[in-house]
Structure 1
Amino acid sequence: MWSVARAKAGTKGVPRLERESQMLEVASEIFGNEGYAATNIQVVAERAGISKPLIYNYFGSKEGLFLACLDRAGTIVADEIERIARGDAVGIERGLRTLEGMFTILEPQPYLWKLFYDPTAPSTGAVADAIDHYTQRIAKLADEGVAELMGLAGNTDPVDISAMTALWLGIVDSLMNWWMEHPDESADAMMQRCVRLLSALLGDSRQ
């Protein structure tokens, strides 16, 4: 079931930026839920209430549309993680605040996370470069947070840090995938669940 309501047909007079934003919102949901390979531009056009040629006019191709969706998602997600990283939280508290921030900004659109980890997306070219850019940006921030956490525990081994970073990113990805399968779960409910799960795993006393 699509959560994006079909727009009213006829877009004459709609400002370009507003119409572009509408197309990206619809396309992002379809790409995120169905995957790049299974997404049909005609379906995107129908759900956005516009013509298929108009999408090509704006974005040039299916890859161009996906790339624009990636850039939009990357700005939303990576910027939020960087904002939290600039704060004063350290260790597990930073990790929890990061999750809280991500759940909050992604509550109406958790499928954005899937755009970065779509196995059916092009493996070469501009799309692959964009995916690499944003996933590396996210991974770098995760590595910094994990290194800080491990350092607080007295462990500065780079291999251990690398392994823990991979584990953390895997946890985040799994949580996002689980969330998409349970759309009735609110951001607050997801956050409280994560606190309970991490408390059980790590012995953290936060409740």
Structure 2
Amino acid sequence: MTTLPARAGTKGVPRAARERQVLAAATEEFGLHGYEATTVAAVAARVGVTKPLLHHYFGSKEDLYLACLNPVGDGLLDAVRDAMAEHATDAAPTPLRVMGALFAALDGRREAWFVLYDGTLPPGSAAARRAAYYRGAIDDLAAIGTADLLQEAGAGDPLDADALKYAWRGLCTALVRWWANHPEQSPEAMTRRCARLFAASRSILAVDDGST
């Protein structure tokens, strides 16, 4: 394989621009098909470059995945942190603020959520460890944000927090998956939908203490 100069591009496209194209295509491929089923050849074909050139730019398939994962993980973490920091100026409950922030962060790249929450990553690999780091950091923030809910409900079992963490992650994943199947829905529309769903859930699950 001929080694290309550091700034070389392809077909007149500057290397930096081509790398952005590759990362966008790879993020979508990993998100739609999972790490195991995604191939470097498929990503290269989508962008219109050769497989050797893609390897030259990013290295192995795992290196390419990590190049996609890091901006996704950093972006989602920043979005959640910012949403939780708005509690003093925003009357919306924390879970709704977080959902709105996630929708905004994923706008235009909804499949990116499934790059982070990919069950096909090789166990023990650098990719799996890095994804676990981001998932753990988001879970930790979620635990802080839902602590008030548990306190209000009088939940004293330490396992309640752990159960809620998994339930919250599953809810987020389910809503993002639904959103991916409804491309006409904006982040703002999804946030309003969540507000209605959360309100309906409270009504459905409410217990009338006087009836028992």
Cα separation, 2, equivalents of 1:176 and 1:22:
23
Which residue does the alignment assign to 1:191? Answer: 191
Instruction: Trace 1:130-145 onto structure 2 (pairs within 5 A).
Output: 130-145=130-145
| 1:27 Cα deviation after fit | 0.5
CA distance in 2, matches of 1:162, 1:11: 52
1:59 equivalent to 2:58? Answer yes
> Which residue in the other structure is 1:30 paired with?
29
**CA shift at 1:21, angstroms?**
2.0
Find the aligned partners of 2:116 and 2:157 in 1 and give their Cα distance.
28
Tell me how far apart the structure 2 counterparts of residues 119 and 88 of structure 1 sit (CA, whole Å). 33
Q: 1:43: which partner in 2?
A: 42
> Normalising by structure 1, what TM-score?
0.85
Whole-angstrom CA distance in 1 between matches of 2:13 and 2:181:
38
Could you give the per-residue CA deviations for residues 53-85 of structure 1, whole angstroms, max 9, x where no partner exists?
Answer: 121112211111011111121011111111112
Contact in 2 for aligned 1:22/1:48 (Cα 8 Å): yes
TM-score, normalised to structure 2, is: 0.83
Greater share of helix residues, 1 or 2?
2
Aligned to 2:177: 177
> Which ranges of structure 1 fall in alignment gaps of 5 or more residues?
1-8
Question: Does the Cα contact within 8 Å between 1:91 and 1:152 map onto a contact in 2?
Answer: no
Q: How far does residue 31 in structure 1 lie from its aligned partner after superposition?
A: 0.9
Deviations 1:34-54 (A, max 9, x none): 111221211211211222112
In 1, the alpha carbon distance for the partners of 2:156 and 2:38 equals: 44
Q: Distance in 1 between matches of 2:150 and 2:61?
A: 42
Number of residue pairs the alignment of both structures matches: 195
Amino acid at match of 1:57: H
Superposition deviation, residue 161 in structure 1: 1.9
Structure ID, larger Rg: 2
Q: Say whether the 8 Å CA contact 1:11–1:50 is kept in structure 2.
A: no
User: 2:6 is matched with which residue?
Assistant: none
Which position in structure 2 is the counterpart of 1:87?
Answer: 86
2:70 is matched with which residue?
Answer: 71
Q: CA RMSD in A?
A: 2.2
Relative to structure 1, is the Cα distance of residues 66 and 172 closer, same or farther in structure 2, using a 3 angstrom cutoff?
same
Amino acid at match of 1:18: A
Please give the secondary structure, in 2, of the residue aligned with 1:98: helix
Greater alpha carbon shift after TM alignment, 150-159 vs 16-25: 150-159
Matches of 1:91 and 1:175, distance apart in 2:
23
Map 1:113-132; keep pairs closer than 5 Å.
Answer: 113-132=113-132
Shift of 1:11: 4.2
Offset of residue 149 of structure 1? 2.6
